[in-house]
Amino acid sequence: MTAIPQLPERTPRAKGQPTALDGLLVVDFTRVVAGPACTQTLADFGAEVIKIENPEGGDDSRAYEHAEIGGESAAFLSLNRNKRGIALDFTKPEALAVARDLIAKADVVVENFSGGVMKKFGLDYASVAPTNPRLVYCSISAYGRKGEFALRPGFDPITQAESGFMSLNGFADGEAVRTGPPIVDLATGMSACNAILLALLARDRLGRGQHVEVALIDIAVAMTAFYGMAYLISGKNPGRFGNSPNGSPSVGVYHAADGPFYIACANDRLYRRLVVDVLERPDLMTDERFANRRARSANKEALRRIIGEVFATDVRENWMAKMKKVNVPVGYLRTVEEGFNAPEVRDRHRLSRIEHPTAGSVPNIESPLSLSLTPIIDPVAAPLLGQHTNEVLRQKLGYDDDQIAKLAAAGAFGAPSRDV
């Protein structure tokens, strides 16, 4: 069994530092990946994010099976840091009234329900904007909120497949392969966060909020990037190329006598350094089959075989040292365990442990964003289901104990016996 990594306690931020989004109230109706990724970034930089969940199980990602600690899944912990959680049963009118009260005070609402759900409960943008015209309301969906497919549910791997994005991943002689991490979901979350911040900037100038939409299918198409653009220009369908884009034989995975590494010599200058200074094979530069990028691509199998045979004659550390000395782009091909324990990662101080109410402490992967004046807040672990219901209702809405007790008795927070 692999040993669980030992992570340091996190160093607190300097006292008195401002946050980028201080005072911003976000009401978060999202679940699973794209929406929670978006709102977690807002929370990391000081927004007050109130996550609303169904009391019967909550966010689906709570039950994801990757790993769990203290009764919380790795997926949920990784996507819901720095949020306060409340539980509301939308089948109860009393719960919907609480949701509307929160929206009336919010700067931002984010939701990623299937099409029509928020409208069904009277919580869609058209229903709530009249009472809060400065509201920025973000809808995240698979296919958008308008058009023929607006009511169709969708998921990251489906949009990877349908957009053509998946067709670019894998090896030419194999099937298309989805990415391991849900890259379209995560990119959609980042894009939604960007869109919200743009709308908030526009609100400062125009004095009113707006409806923001981000769709997974749109993000997946955009992520085909220059391969998609090349198709539009040439009409030629791009294929899969494994680890070597455009079939470049000097980009990809190679194996030393004792392990793999990845090199990226994508131009003539870097290729010359590789074959002359590292491999000590100047003939691979003068041979007309390999003299320029076009020729190397045409003869890629022969060149890959030659380069591979040379690399197999020595151990990885020796090759790495030679390549680093002459600035040939190279990196170890690591597992997650190796990567997380590598000096390049540890030097960034992005891995730590933070307190958790049931586990004592949980691992934390910090935001990758660094702001010198307004850094991320000191992280707080993702909430237990309904953990902050009473607290939020008292502090944000001014409800007293009697009002909260009546809501609980009416089942607004789930079964009346539920401890909130």
Q: Cα–Cα distance between 59 and 30 in angstroms, integer?
A: 8
Residue bearing tokens 């998946």: 166
Name which of 356, 405, 404, 392 is nearest 73 in CA terms.
Answer: 356
Long-range pairs, 176-183, Cβ under 8 A, ≥24 = 176/240, 182/33, 182/156, 182/157, 183/156, 183/223
Q: What type of residue is 229? A: M
Six-digit token pair at 318? 């020796």
Residue bearing tokens 């020796």: 318
Q: What type of residue is 18? A: P
For the chain, the 3-state helix, strand and coil shares in percent, each to the nearest 5, are: 40, 15, 45
CB 420 within 8 Å of CB 87: yes
Q: What are phi and psi of 305, to 5 degrees?
A: -65, -45
Has 185 been annotated as catalytic? yes
Q: At what angle do helices 401-409 and 93-105 cross, to 10 degrees?
A: 140
Q: Cα–Cα distance between 156 and 147 in angstroms, integer?
A: 20
Catalytic residue among 185, 287, 400, 419: 185
CB 180 within 8 Å of CB 168: no
CB 127 within 8 Å of CB 96: no
Q: Cα–Cα distance between 203 and 138 in angstroms, integer?
A: 14
CB 230 within 8 Å of CB 238: yes
Sign of CA dihedral 67, 70, 76, 78: negative
The β-bridge relationship of strands 251-255 and 260-264 is antiparallel
CB 97 within 8 Å of CB 123: no
How far separated are the first and last CA of the chain, in Å rounded? 38
Residue bearing tokens 């981000």: 214
The β-bridge relationship of strands 68-69 and 72-73 is antiparallel
Residues identified as active-site: 185
